[in-house]
Amino acid sequence: MKYHNLGHSNLEISVIGLGCMGMSEFYVSSQVAESIATLHRAIELGVNFFDTADMYGPWTNEMLVCKAIADRRDKVVLATKFGVVRNEKCEFLGINCQPDYVRSACDASLKRLGVDTIDLYYQHRVDTNVPIEETVGAMANLVEAGKIRYIGLSEAEPDVIRRAHAVHPISALQTEYSLWSREPEQEILTTTRELGISFVSYSPLGRGFLTGQIKQFEDLAEDDWRRTNPRFQGENFAKNLVLVERITEIAQDKNVTPAQLALAWVLAQGEDIVTIPGTKRRTYLEQNLGALDVTLTDEDLARINDAFPMDAAVGKRY
């Protein structure tokens, strides 16, 4: 395993972490036993950066992570998020980043996770009704109270990042980044690098599309959230599949899987980048970590860029 110093902190995090969202919902039905086994196997293999959120489940994903790490807390850098509000029926009720809500959400996450301190606490989405200064101010108070150690943002634009960082050092920005979502290259990465903020790439495998395992829409289970995603619809699906076929060909030439190639590409974009591919199966976890052994030459990177240039993916991200 390779490690990266989380921006403005003394934490060393694995450059490939583990996104835990899919262990509870959105893709297919949850498999608790295998998910916990996957979390344990990740720790054995040197993965120490686990990512969850209160809205995953909702709430149940944090409790699942709690079960997995209860007797090995010292081996994990734990990240969770607040701000996306859902109810017991799993309905989305909006974004709430009011200071009072920040405090209550943190207390609830601490209880579900069974920990005294959250290592990295993210604002999950920007609340356009609340100045970022107020939200980060409330998060800074949580740092002072010892409830969280470091502050992160998710899917924030450069201006918001700068304003937030002026209130309290931001340690990480989490944003979707992969071969088929390269928008951060335009301004986001420049901003985070200027401010010394680590960049955390989520969905580095394009919600599974870049693995090459999804050949047709019908491959998605009936309860799979991706059935509603624009990039998996009709003509968009067909056009995006052509892009994946190009990547698959390059991967075959290098004797690696398409997923390993896609992850290696993300990591090759900068030493300040870490990524959190999600899986609930040990097999895929181990395959993903094989990306650490993939070396991409300048020629490889040029070929990948030609095959999958900026804005090549068809359809909106959401």
Q: Which residues are catalytic?
A: 56
Read out DSSP for 224-255? -GGGGSGGGSHHHHHHHHHHHHHHHHHHHHTT
Instruction: Tokens for 64, please give them.
Output: 């699942």
Residue (of 173, 154, 181, 202) closest to 17 by Cα position? 202
| SS3 of residue 186 by DSSP | coil
Instruction: Tokens for 14, please give them.
Output: 């694995």
Enclosing H/E stretch for 288: helix 282-289
Instruction: Tokens for 311, please give them.
Output: 């804005």
Instruction: Tokens for 239, please give them.
Output: 């056009």
| Residues 109-125: b if buried by 16+ CB within 10 A, e if exposed | bbebbebebbbbbbbbb
Neighbours of 211 (CB within 10 A): 21
Please check whether residue 307 is in contact with residue 262, taking contact to mean a CB–CB distance below 8 angstroms. no
d(CA 6, CA 146): 18
Q: Which long-range contacts (CB under 8 A, 24 or more apart) does 10-13 make?
A: 11/77, 11/119, 11/120, 11/149, 11/150, 12/48, 12/77, 13/48, 13/49, 13/77, 13/198, 13/274
Q: Which amino acid is at 98?
A: Q
C-alpha to C-alpha distances, 57 to 15, 121, 126, 276, nearest whole angstrom: 26, 18, 21, 18
